[in-house]
Amino acid sequence: MKLFKFVSTLGIVAASAGATGTMAAEKDIVDTAIAAGSFKTLVVALQKAGLVETLKGKGPFTVFAPNDEAFAKVPKDQLDALLADKAKLTKVLTYHVVAGKVMAADVKAGPAKSLEGSNLTITTKDCVMVDKAKVVKTDIAASNGVIHVVDSVLMPN
């Protein structure tokens, strides 16, 4: 019941946010992702991992957020298994987050320490890549950080 109420509340937030995105900086990372409408799988994963409150926290955080299309690239049986394994899911999701608010103009090539503890590899040669995921949209501002959209789900070693 609690999860249903939470999901129901999320639907209201997403519906009231509108399509302009002008309120994004007033919303935290989770509410910004919900309002965008293209991170439904990520939001479900955050709920299952118990990370919603963390990403609603003070931060600041930089999230390399896989959109729904990125999650669709993961074979269904693998995605279902990941969503069912809270420890592994938490490890994967925290691998997408670095401490601090790093805007696109400030991104530098090299290692970046994820909240999971491993280093992400950032490259900037022809486009910005995080490990093997391409950054497809940048600088989605939130009150407690920033979201950069990636086209693949990142997997820690």
CATH code (residue 73)? 2.30.180.10
Q: How far is the C-alpha of 96 from the C-alpha of 157, rounded, in Å?
A: 13
Whether 139 is covered by a domain: the verdict is yes
Q: pLDDT of 93-122, one tens digit each?
A: 999 999 999 999 999 999 999 999 999 999
Residues pairing with 150 in the sheet: 66, 135
Number of domains composing the chain: 1
Q: With 0.85 as the threshold, say if the pTM is over it.
A: no
Question: One-letter amino acid identity for 25?
Answer: A
Whether 91 is covered by a domain: the verdict is yes
* Full strand arrangement of the beta sheet holding 97-99: 97-99, 61-66, 145-150, 133-142, 129-130, 119-123, 110-113
Could you count the other beta carbons within 10 Å of the beta carbon of residue 4? 8
